[in-house]
Structure 1
Amino acid sequence: MSAAASPRRIVLLRHAKADWPAVPDHERPLADRGRKEAPVAGRRLMELDIPFDLTLCSSAVRTRETWKLVAHELPHRPRTVYEERMYDATLGDLLALLNETPEDVDDLLLVGHNPGIHALADALAGTSEGDALARVDRTGFPTAAIAVITFTGPWKTVEHGVGRLVEFWSPHD
């Protein structure tokens, strides 16, 4: 199958609930609630049965802790890159990262932060199944929430409106 016709999935996962101790923002750990949310999100990803080729995870403590707990629930752990540019990333930063994704990756998981993850879901979703997009807009992409966006074509062409939001899930629903 050519890259132009190859179906791809971008899965967005916001980190689980973080604590607010007196440390720099990048070093904030998960709260007790977050340590409970993350495995639930991992089980939801397992149910979706997406064979991730690559995970890009923010370098922040709370995202790394979330990913560790999520990955423990998956049947296999995909190659993981801890990406400094995902911390405090703007929509433009995240789109640039997607555009740099290797063409042999069909299913990509991003573990990141708001407001960037929410902005990316909103920007990529030209269409959605059911009320998924309305639910993202209404809830603001809560902690440990997951969005699945499908698109076809090469990664370098990912831009606003290119995808279809096929799933939105939150442990708070």
Structure 2
Amino acid sequence: MSVAEPRRIVLFRHAKADWPQVTDHERPLADRGRKESAEAGRRLVDSGIPFDLALCSTATRTRETWKLAVQEFPHRPKTVYEERIYEASPGELIAVLNETPDDVQNAVLIGHNPGVQGLADVLAGAAEGDARQRMSARGFPAAAFAVLTFSGPWKSLEPGVATLADYWAPSD
């Protein structure tokens, strides 16, 4: 990896989940969530980001979201299912990301709100174009993702060091 080339992290909220009589951790995707997962996968492919690593919550709805999204990819990145992402605060998510090996240039984190949205807000010290306005206007609905860039090693990822490069959310 070139020192001048920024790293990218995509913060991806799981798609719409169903509410059956199961624990929160075991909630599956709703029909709409399955469709949105594939759509988000296509949008991630369109971004042109060659992902090296996916960090995914162990919750059923995040695993299903990632499984459906990654089917759209020409190359499946290494996927790590990480229990600490479930119900994590932005600070806890930063701690997980700080452990990313430095040979990883582009990563996607598949998680939950309010942590994912909070992390996007906290990391983005700057924004390109209207990305921040679009994210502020829409919030972080199910299946939305934010693309952030930053320079330096993963252990240097901290509040305000990233640029919000893009934001996408499915249409209602």
Q: 1:139: which partner in 2?
A: 138
Number of the residue aligned with 1:153: 152
Give deviations 1:29-71, integer Å, cap 9, x for gaps: 0001101100000000110111101000000000000000000
Q: Kindly, what percent of the aligned residue pairs are identical?
A: 66
Aligned counterpart, 1:29: 28
In the alignment, structure 1 segments of 5+ residues that lack a partner are none
Number of equivalent positions: 172
| Unmatched 5+ stretches in structure 2 | none
The alignment's C-alpha RMSD in Å is: 1.2
1:110 aligns with 2:128: no
1:126 aligned partner: 125
Secondary structure of the corresponding residue to residue 164 of structure 1: strand
Q: Secondary structure at the match of 2:159?
A: coil
Deviation above 2 Å: which 4+ runs of structure 1?
none
CA displacement at 1:2 relative to structure 2: 5.7
When the two structures are superposed, what TM-score results if normalisation uses the length of structure 1?
A: 0.96
Normalised by the length of structure 2, the TM-score is: 0.96
The amino acid that maps onto 1:150 is T
Deviates more, 1:136-145 or 1:8-17: 136-145
Q: Deviations over 1:61-96 (max 9, x none)?
A: 000000000000010110000000000011111010
Deviations 1:107-155 (A, max 9, x none): 0100000000000100111111122112222222111111100010111
